[in-house]
Amino acid sequence: KIVPVIMAGGKGTRLWPLSRASAPKQFIQFIGDRTLFQNTLERVSDPELYEAPIVLTNEEFRFLVAEQARELDLKLAAVLLEPVARNTAAAVAAAAALITDLFGKDAIMHVLGSDYEIHANATYYDCVRLARDTALQGKLVTFGITPTEPATGYGYIESGKALPTGAHAVKRFVEKPALEKAQEMVANGSFYWNSGMFMFSAAQLLAEMKEYAPDVEKAASKAVSKSTRDLDFTRLDADHFSKSPDISIDYALMEKTANAAVVPSPFTWSDLGSWDAVWKVGNRDESGNVSAGSTTLVNTKNSLVMSHSLHIAVQGLEDVAVIASEDAVYVGHLKDSQEVGKLVKLLASEK
- Only one of the segments 148-156, 163-171, 182-190, 279-287 lies at the binding site for ligand GDD (rule: CB under 6 A); that segment is 148-156
Collapsing DSSP states into helix, strand and coil, what is residue 132? helix
CA 131 to chain centre: 18
Output the CA angle 127-132-137, nearest 5 degrees. Answer: 125
| Residue 164 to residue 162: CA distance in whole angstroms | 7
Residue 300 phi/psi, 5-degree rounding, is -120, 140
Least Cβ distance, residue 196 to Mg ion (angstroms): 6
Q: Which is nearer to ligand GDD, 57 or 307 (CB)?
A: 57
Q: Which positions from 1 through 20 interact with ligand GDD, judged by CB under 6 A?
A: 7-10
CB of 301 closer than 8 Å to CB of 319: yes
End-to-end Cα spacing for the chain: 48
User: What x-and-dash track marks residues 294-333 binding ligand GDD by CB under 6 A?
Assistant: ----------------------------------------
| Residue 137 to residue 126: CA distance in whole angstroms | 17
Look up residue 141 and give its amino acid.
Answer: V
User: What x-and-dash track marks residues 114-143 binding Mg ion by CB under 5 A?
Assistant: -x----------------------------
Least Cβ distance, residue 13 to ligand GDD (angstroms): 10
Residue 261 phi/psi, 5-degree rounding, is -130, 160
Q: Which positions from 116 through 135 interact with ligand GDD, judged by CB under 6 A?
A: 116
Which of 91, 209, 277, 297 binds ligand GDD (CB under 6 A)? It is 91
Q: Which is nearer to ligand GDD, 85 or 343 (CB)?
A: 85
User: What x-and-dash track marks residues 249-288 binding Mg ion by CB under 5 A?
Assistant: ------------------------x---------------
56 strand-pairing partners:
7, 80
